[in-house]
Amino acid sequence: MRAYLIFVLRRFVQFLAVLFLAITAVFFITHLTPNDPVEQTLARINSGMANSPEVVAEMRRTLTELYGLQGSLWEQYVEYWQRMARGDLGPSLSAFPAPVTSLVARAAPWTAGLLVTSTVIAWTLGNLLGGLAGYYRQNRLLKAAEIAAMGLQPIPYYVLAFVLLILFGYVWPILPITGAYVMNRDLSFSLSLVLDVLRHSILPAVSLILVGIGGWFIGMRALVSNLVTEDYVLYAELGGVDRGRILRSYVMRNALMPQITGLAMNLGAIFSGTVITEEVYGYPGMGKLLVDGVNSGDYSLVLGVAVMSILGVAAAVFLVDILYPLLDPRVRLG
C-alpha cells in the first residue's frame, strides 16, 4: 500500500508539472500572436466615425486597462496565475465584460453531451465488432464490417459531417442542420426540449461515431489477432472451453487495457470540442467558442478553452496512470 501511495504522489507531481508547463506555453503563444484585441475593438468602435487622436488615445488607454493588458508580458503572466488560483479565467475581450468562465460554463455541457455520448458509443461498437472480427476471422459479415471500418477510418470527421449535412439537410431534408435546438424556443426543461436537442444532435453525433468506430475497430482487431495466437488461448481451445467464453474472458479482457487508455484520453480531450463539426452544424459547444475567440482576437477566451482542454487531458492521463496498477497486476509501481 505504501508503494502505491508513493506511486500516486509521484504521478500527481508529474500532473502538476504538465499543467504548469502546458498552460505557460499556451499563455505566451496566445499573447505573442499579432492580433491586438484593443486595436480590433477600436476599429469596430471607430468604424464610420472621425474621432480625434486624443479621443482614440484615451479609448486605447481605457480599453487596455479594462482588458487587464497593462504592464509587461511578465506582469500579465503573474497576474494570470493569480487569477487562476482564484478560479478566474479573466474577462472575455470580445464579449466584455462577460467572464470567460461563464462562456465556458455555457458551452461545456453541449460539448460534453455530444462528445461523451458519441465517443462512448463509437468505443463500444468499435471494440465489440473489432474483437469479434479478430477472433472469428472467417465470418463474412465481420469481413464486410472490416472493409467498411477501413473505408471510414481515414475520412476526416468534418468531411463526413459535410456529406451528412448535404444528404439529410438538402437532398433528403429530414433532420435539422444547424443549432442545438429550435431558435427562440423556451429552454425550460421538458420532454419536448430533450427530444428537440436529441434531434439536432443526430447529424453531428453520427459523423463522429462513424469515423470513431473505424479507428476503434481496427485497433481492437489488431490486438485480438495477436492474442489469439498466445499459448493460453490455444490451450483453452484445445481443452474444449466454449469459444464465446474464451473471447470474453481470455482475449477481449486482455485486449481492452490499451483501448481503455485511449478512451480516457479521448474523454479528457472533449473540452477542446470538435472544432469543425461544431462550426459546420452551428453547434454551441467549446469548438465553436474557440473558433469565435480566434476570429475576434480574444486570446482570453482562447486561453480559457485551451486551459480546460489541457486540464481534461492531463486529468485523464493521471487517472489512467493511478488506476492501471489496480486493473493490471503486471504494471510495476517502481
- Please report the pLDDT score of residue 108 as a whole number: 81
CATH code for the part of the protein at 108-289: 1.10.3720.10
- Please report the pLDDT score of residue 332 as a whole number: 62
How many angstroms separate the CA atoms of 66 and 189, rounded? 37
Assess whether pLDDT exceeds 80 at residue 124: yes
Q: Which of 62-76, 114-128, 213-227, 295-309 has the lowest mean pLDDT?
A: 62-76
pLDDT digits (tens, 9 = 90+) for 232-242: 777 777 777 77
Assess whether pLDDT exceeds 60 at residue 273: no
Degrees to nearest 5, angle at CA 166 with 163 and 172: 120
Q: What is the mean pLDDT of the chain?
A: 78
Distances (CA, A) of 90 to 147, 234, 303: 49, 60, 10
In angstroms and rounded to an integer, the radius of gyration of the C-alpha atoms of the chain is 25
For the ranges 14-18, 68-72, 136-140, the maximum mean pLDDT occurs at 14-18
Assess whether pLDDT exceeds 80 at residue 125: yes
What's the pTM value of the predicted model, to 2 decimals?
0.74
Averaged pLDDT, 141-151: 82
Assess whether pLDDT exceeds 80 at residue 329: no
Averaged pLDDT, 4-11: 81
Q: Taking the domains of the chain in order of start, what are their residue ranges?
A: 108-289
Assess whether pLDDT exceeds 80 at residue 168: yes
How many angstroms separate the CA atoms of 293 and 13, rounded? 32
